[in-house]
Amino acid sequence: MAAGADETVAAVVAASRLVMGLSAGALAEVDDSLSLAQLRTLVALEGCGPVKLAALAGVLGVNPSTALRAVVRLEEAGLVNRRVSLVSRREVVLTLTSGGLALVRRVLDRRRAAIEQLVAGMPAAARSGLVAGLLALLAVAEDRSVPVPGAGTEFRDAVG
């Protein structure tokens, strides 16, 4: 690794732990019956749905059977809908229910408020550098599980 890369990796790991902690806290405030993995599935659906199961599994980085188990539990909780695709009757399309969407928005709003408090305490110059660095990191990661303008269109176009 290049000089300073270890320090950068350590800072990103620490920041990811911070955000995970903020996410866990926000989720616990809204619905303590769900796990962070279930929240991640809901957020992915919010960001790229309607979507086929295989595409959701790809976004989550899990195999389709793991994604299906998560979807079934979330469907039983009334948070996810499964319907037959208009393009192919052999395919199932997943969407959030209105309750699932409301839950995701409440959790993400609480997490955002916590992050806003932290960011407000940072010097302006540090905020500017943070934005550039995080945008570069997201571009390299090509993370489709978070709502980024333009993300998810390849999935939406494929489900009809």
Q: Per-residue DSSP letters for 6-28?
A: HHHHHHHHHHHHHHHHHHHHHHH
pTM score: 0.76
The CATH number for 133's domain is: 1.10.10.10
What per-residue confidence (pLDDT) applies to 134?
A: 87
In a domain, 1, yes or no: no
What per-residue confidence (pLDDT) applies to 2?
A: 65
In a domain, 29, yes or no: yes
What is the domain range of residue 65?
9-159
CA separation for the pair 9, 15 (Å, rounded) = 10
Give, as one character, the DSSP assignment of residue 122: S
What per-residue confidence (pLDDT) applies to 128?
A: 85
The number of distinct structural domains making up the chain is 1
In a domain, 3, yes or no: no
CA separation for the pair 109, 132 (Å, rounded) = 23
In a domain, 2, yes or no: no
Q: In what order do the strands lie in the sheet with 92-96?
A: 51-52, 92-96, 80-84
Q: CA angle, corner 19, sides to 13 and 22, nearest 5?
A: 145
Q: Kindly give the confidence (pLDDT) of every residue in the chain, 160 residues in length, as a single tens digit, with 9 standing for 90 and above.
A: 665 788 989 999 999 999 999 999 999 999 999 999 999 999 999 988 789 998 999 889 899 999 999 999 999 999 999 988 777 777 889 999 999 999 999 999 999 999 999 999 999 989 888 888 888 888 888 755 454 433 344 333 333 3
